[in-house]
Amino acid sequence: MIYLKCHVFEKIIIMLGILSLLYFIICFLTFNIIVNFSLFFALMGIIFIAVGILRISLREKYKNKIIKRAFRIFNISIILILSVFIFIEACIVYSANKTVKDKPDYIMILGGGIRGRNMLLIQLQRTEKALEFIKRNPNVKVIVSGGQGKGEDISEAESMKEYLIKHGVNSENILKEEKSKNTMENMKYTAEILNKIDSRPNPKIAIVTSNYHVFRAKFLARRAGLNVEGIAAPVNNILLPNFSIRECFAIIKSFFMDK
């Protein structure tokens, strides 16, 4: 029975490794580049396959107390790590599929990068999703949030403002937050702006960001004292697993470090 359970666990590990490597290859062949963070899947694939094979080679020595204890610790560690990741992924999926219930006072668009003056795809998808909402609610106030980084001729906020104005949004309804470099700063600096211009204690804000990013954006917004809901912008379906797994690490980091 011990050997049978071990054999099943080894099969699962090796299968996860193969799937991880296949996903890396699919991303590479689809986009003809090594997609940001996708090397993680290649590395984990190699590690999982190697560990599975190693466990098979040591199976005859499984009754050795040291090896048996090492296997048990490894099994428990893998189960705990996977449990944490599954829980976080469930939170990501739930937040991405939750709809805005009440009409917000503000809609906040989070920047996602530009090159020169042109928006990268992530930011364009977020801005287009926000534009859909704005067209249905033309009087809503819009906050575009994002600073200027390396290789960017203007701030992300300015690029989003230009895009919205070009597509018929009233410039007087657009507020810019141009100092932020990350999600926590998006929230902090936006809270500072709202505290200066809005005397209401808890104005309602709908944050527009990528579907995988909604959970963390809402979490950090509430940590900054904002009353928020999320609007999920779509991303490329092939890249969604890549972004979602990367986001797990970002959520863990934000939970402990972003105050």
For residues 147 and 249, state if they share a domain: yes
Q: Is the pLDDT confidence value at 61 over 70?
A: no
Give the residue from 97, 117, 147 where a domain finishes. 97
Q: Is the pLDDT confidence value at 4 over 50?
A: no
Answer yes or no: are the C-beta atoms of 117 and 222 closer than 8 Å.
no
For residues 89 and 133, state if they share a domain: no
Claim: this prediction has a pTM higher than 0.85 = yes
Q: Is the pLDDT confidence value at 183 over 50?
A: yes
Q: Is the pLDDT confidence value at 99 over 90?
A: no
Q: What is the pLDDT of residues 163-182, one digit of tens each?
A: 999 999 999 999 999 999 99
Give the residue from 73, 97, 121 where a domain finishes. 97
CATH code for the domain of 230:
3.40.50.620
C-alpha span between 122 and 234 (Å, rounded): 9
For residues 129 and 241, state if they share a domain: yes
Dihedral sign, Cα of residue 163, residue 157, residue 171, residue 234: positive
Structural domain containing residue 92 = 2-97
For residues 118 and 45, state if they share a domain: no
For residues 81 and 158, state if they share a domain: no
pLDDT for position 60: 64
For residues 86 and 9, state if they share a domain: yes
For residues 142 and 222, state if they share a domain: yes
For residues 145 and 200, state if they share a domain: yes
For residues 75 and 132, state if they share a domain: no
For residues 79 and 25, state if they share a domain: yes
Work out the number of other CB atoms within 10 angstroms of the CB of residue 256.
7
Predicted confidence band of residue 66 (pLDDT cuts 50, 70, 90): confident
For residues 18 and 86, state if they share a domain: yes
Give the residue from 37, 62, 97 where a domain finishes. 97
Q: What is the pLDDT of residues 208-235, one digit of tens each?
A: 999 999 999 999 999 999 999 999 999 9
Work out the number of other CB atoms within 10 angstroms of the CB of residue 171.
10
Written as one letter, the residue type at 248 is C
For residues 50 and 161, state if they share a domain: no
| Number of domains composing the chain | 2
Q: What is the DSSP string of 27-68?
A: HHHHHSS--TTTHHHHHHHHHHHHHHHHHHHTGGGTTSHHHH
Answer yes or no: are the C-beta atoms of 146 and 189 closer than 8 Å.
no
C-alpha span between 11 and 51 (Å, rounded): 11
Q: In this structure, what are the phi and psi dihedrals at residue 202, rounded to the nearest 5 degrees?
A: -140, 70
